[in-house]
Amino acid sequence: MESGKPLCQPKVIAEIVGGILLGPSGFGRNEEYMHRIFPSRSTPILESVASIGLIFFLFLVGLELDLSSIRRSGRKAIAIAAAGISVPFIFRIGIAFIL
Q: What is the pTM of this model?
A: 0.48
**Number of residues in the chain:** 99
pLDDT tens for the chain, 99 residues: list them: 455 567 787 888 888 888 888 877 888 788 888 888 888 888 889 889 989 999 998 898 888 887 787 778 778 888 888 999 999 999 999 999 898
Compute CA distances 57 → 31, 63, 90, whole Å: 30, 10, 29
The DSSP result for the chain, as a single string, is --TT-TT---HHHHHHHHHHHHSTTTGGGSHHHHHHHS-GGGHHHHHHHHHHHHHHHHHHHHHH--HHHHHHHTHHHHHHHHHHHHHHHHHHHHHHHH-
